[in-house]
Structure 1
Amino acid sequence: MDQSLMLMLSNLLQLHNHLDPTTSLISDLTSSSSDATSPTSLLTTTSAAPLLFFTIASVLSYIASHPTSKLATKTKSLGKSTNSNSKAQPSSDEFSVAAFRALSTERIWAMESSTRDAQWRSMYGLSYPVFTTVVDKLKPYITQSQLSLPSDYAVAMVLSRLSHGFSAKTLASRYNLEPYLISKITNMITRLLATKLYPEYIKIPTLRRRVAETTQGFQEITSLPNICGAIDGTSVKLHKLPSDLINPSMYYSKDGHPSILLQVVADSKRRFWDVCVKAPGGFDDATHFRDSLLYNRLISGDIVWDKGINVRGQHVRPYIVGDWSYPLLSFCLTPFSWNRTGSPAQNAFDEGLMRARKMAEEAIGLLKGRWKILQDLNVGLNHAPQTIVACCVLHNLCQIAKEPEPEPWKEPEESGTPPRVLENEKSFYYFGESLRQALADDLYQRLSSR
């Protein structure tokens, strides 16, 4: 027992004996008497009751004034266990507007920047400065919507959902709001990110300076000239499909989960410069690519990259690279083989191309690692595309700000055969074959001469 508690009880006993010296004598008499109704017994009860009452009161007072004592700890634990047998849930007071305001305005600047940003990332997926950037850019549009909640509070709520993958029901219990309101706010914020911020943070590099920076970045990684992007696709698992969907089977991907496809084109810094979410999970990458706005702009000549170079008599303009699931075209080069069974020059080209393509693969891994809602998308199917695009915008914001990179999501290994060439693609295919071979021969010669 605690020494201070023993001392307190000893002092109480001495005090009582001093006030009532007959106590010890009466106690001895009662111990030898078997008659519970004797006058001696009645006298003992009468005399000991004040001491007992006073002792209990003192012990309780001691516990209250010594919260770190073992007895106090056990008492608190007992109180918690009697309230609920389930796992303790955070109180809604912790997520109230007042609590958020106290953190974001009163205590945030008292913290060291590293501590502040680490805490903010753990809650909302990005540091406090990046968070304020998002809020400042969205605030005018949120204000126009006449939302009854503060703009920064609403953005923080949605970011916590995107970052941790919380359902609307979970957030509703945390923030003491109705689930339908959580869904409404999520849809509004993701729509604003996907429409208002998309043109600023996700755009095709058409300016000469940006094209030069992008191709130079890839050349340092691959030794191949004029690569301006790496294309890749991934399926985003849907938590569930609507019960009234006409053809649900088209949404099931190879892994057996309902999903929709995300196609991205990334630069050498693993930032997206094009994003497309148009196909159900049952479609392949080539079909999704051919249905995208990027493909139609490239094949129609709407996008023209002027930075051309001459390689072994071939005029090579900037191009994107993809794996064997994409069609070989003059503006989209793919490997000669999927298992490195070509000539030495072809194998060298394939190795360089796959190093470039890895930038898109890693970007997707970071995207799903940072915004965990994309690992099991728990929003309505109608709002799924904008939620995915919103996460892509936030990914670019984090990459531009050089935020610490999370543990990346591991994509399953892909396999398959090259897609067939469409009639309208034949001229682009033959030109792509010539360009690819010229680049392979040029690369192999340069590598051999080193």
Structure 2
Amino acid sequence: MEEGEQLRSLMLLVTYLLLKRRRDVNDASAQRRAEIQRRVRHRQYFFQRQRRMLMMMIASGIHSNVRIRTRPWTTTRSTDWWERVVMTEFQPSDWLDKFRMSRDTFFYLCDKLRPRLARQDTSFRLALPVEKRVAVALWRLASNVEYRTISSLFGVGKSTVCRCVRDMCHAIVALLSSIYLRLPGEQELEDSAQLFLSHWGFPHCVAAIGSLHTAIITPSNNASDYANPAGWLSVISQVAVSGRGHFWDVCASFPGGTDPADILQNSSLWATAAEGGLSPSPPPTFMGKSLRYVLLGEACYPLQSWLMKAYPEEKGRRASHATLTEPQRTFNRQLGRALRVSEEALLRLRARWQCLSKRNDCGLDVVPTMILACCILHNVCESHGDTFRPEWKEEVSEAESPQPSHKQLLSTGMDQSNAEEIRHLFCDYFQHNS
């Protein structure tokens, strides 16, 4: 009886061991099949990727053979494009065309931004050089092309392109604002006043105020606030431009439907100018009187002792104001001519940096910083004497979103009490010097 029990226990043990061995063999086989399938999928993925890249290169080569090829590197799409082509084969005209600045200015910019843009290598990958990061971001600002196009060109990921643009814009604002976007000193004020008088025929003036509308994608909230007078969605920025065409102050950016007069009154420029911060102490003399330097603005701004605008033009017989006198018409002509300083500066800004002339697909959290960065880059290029190509303006004129015009401010409730007397002094000046 005991032998039977022992035999039964032994059979149960053997059965258990056999079942366990079978299960282990099945598990091992399943793991091997899963690993084989994973490797097959992995190889298929890379095979399909290489096939797509090959087809793109073939299609690009066929397309380039149809056109006249001006450069042997126009169809290059490899990861060494930056090191092998740009750094060795780019001519001065190529630097201007692609990066909107000279090679010397480019490397000057890289040196200035290096403290914020330099990254350390990790055990997984090498850090992108500062020069390549700046080049990726400048290409985006200058052309406004899609991230995937730049990604393919430079051999980096789309997320890397987005990060390069964001990081460089923040670095420019943080490191270069105090140098290239600041209020002027007394000597700069005097130089600007001389330029306004000699080039534009308007005396005792140091800056012109203008507005810039940048087209944006439809925001998720309060989209109607961003509809500007022309009917398209934008953000509006206020700029103050010197007689040299440099930006002294930029206030970016408000919804496109915001009144420019409200932007001005809520900006630091208003407080600075009203307190005499844009004029030396003591004030210079004009027409025999001690008078602070003035700024010029469009008809949508209020008349102030430091801000001159045109007299309202008569529009038909039912106009509520009298016909302008000849001195007043002369004043309007001279002021309109001087306001071309800001118009020309904004045109050159949008022509050099196409991200401001075409619809900007970046988020609203990035657009204001991008506008400030482009204004600073404009001052950098202008200060370094980089060539500006006239054909860039033609690209802006063909843009789908022309700059809207703002309504003329007829109400005198916002005008300063003694501002009309100062405007009359300028009328007397033009009358005596005509």
1:336 and 2:319 are equivalent in the alignment: no
Query: Among 144, 147, 152, which residue is 1:168 paired with?
Result: 147
Percent pairwise identity: 23
What residue identity is the alignment partner of 1:226? H
Query: Among 120, 123, 141, which residue is 2:116 paired with?
Result: 141
Deviations 1:305-353 (A, max 9, x none): 3363334454321111011111110111101134695211111111111
SS at match of 2:365: helix
| Alpha-carbon shift at residue 387 of structure 1 (Å) | 0.4
For normalisation by structure 2, the TM-score amounts to 0.74
Please give the residue correspondences for 1:48-447 in structure 2 after superposition, counting only pairs within 5 Å. 84=59, 94=76, 98-103=80-85, 105-107=87-89, 116-143=91-118, 148-205=127-184, 207-238=185-216, 240-243=217-220, 245=221, 247-301=222-276, 304-306=279-281, 308-312=283-287, 314-338=289-313, 342-375=324-357, 376-406=359-389, 407-408=392-393, 409-410=396-397, 412=403, 414=405, 416-418=407-409, 420-421=411-412, 429-447=416-434
What residue identity is the alignment partner of 1:400? S
* Partner Cα separation in structure 1 for residue 348 and residue 74 of structure 2: 31
Against the structure 1 CA distance between its residues 339 and 270, is the aligned structure 2 distance closer, same or farther, given a 3 Å change threshold? Answer: farther
Paired positions, count: 354
RMSD between aligned residues: 3.0
Unpaired segments ≥5 residues, structure 1: 1-78, 109-115
Question: Residues 326 and 419 of structure 1 are in contact (CA less than 8 Å); yes or no, is this contact kept in structure 2?
Answer: no
Tell me whether 317-326 or 334-343 shows the greater mean CA deviation: 334-343
Greater Rg, structure 1 or structure 2? 1
Question: Residues 189 and 278 of structure 2 are in contact (CA less than 8 Å); yes or no, is this contact kept in structure 1?
Answer: no
Deviations 1:69-113 (A, max 9, x none): xxxxxxxxxx989955998599999465633223455446xxxxx
Question: Residues 349 and 374 of structure 2 are in contact (CA less than 8 Å); yes or no, is this contact kept in structure 1?
Answer: yes
Question: Residues 189 and 279 of structure 2 are in contact (CA less than 8 Å); yes or no, is this contact kept in structure 1?
Answer: no
* Partner Cα separation in structure 2 for residue 82 and residue 300 of structure 1: 62
* Partner Cα separation in structure 1 for residue 353 and residue 275 of structure 2: 35
Question: Residues 314 and 438 of structure 1 are in contact (CA less than 8 Å); yes or no, is this contact kept in structure 2?
Answer: no
Deviations 1:146-203 (A, max 9, x none): 7920000010111011111112233223333332222111100011112211221122
What residue identity is the alignment partner of 1:265? A
SS at match of 1:279: strand
Question: Residues 253 and 281 of structure 1 are in contact (CA less than 8 Å); yes or no, is this contact kept in structure 2?
Answer: yes
SS at match of 1:330: coil
Unpaired segments ≥5 residues, structure 2: 1-53, 65-71, 316-322
* Partner Cα separation in structure 2 for residue 274 and residue 95 of structure 1: 40
Question: Residues 324 and 338 of structure 1 are in contact (CA less than 8 Å); yes or no, is this contact kept in structure 2?
Answer: no
Against the structure 1 CA distance between its residues 413 and 248, is the aligned structure 2 distance closer, same or farther, given a 3 Å change threshold? Answer: closer
SS at match of 1:398: helix
* Partner Cα separation in structure 1 for residue 78 and residue 424 of structure 2: 62
Deviations 1:49-81 (A, max 9, x none): xxxxxxxxxxxxxxxxxxxxxxxxxxxxxx989
Deviations 1:243-281 (A, max 9, x none): 3x2x11101112222110011111122111111113110
SS at match of 2:422: helix
* Partner Cα separation in structure 2 for residue 87 and residue 377 of structure 1: 31
Question: Residues 239 and 249 of structure 2 are in contact (CA less than 8 Å); yes or no, is this contact kept in structure 1?
Answer: yes
For normalisation by structure 1, the TM-score amounts to 0.72
| Alpha-carbon shift at residue 140 of structure 1 (Å) | 1.9
SS at match of 1:277: strand
Question: Residues 215 and 227 of structure 1 are in contact (CA less than 8 Å); yes or no, is this contact kept in structure 2?
Answer: yes
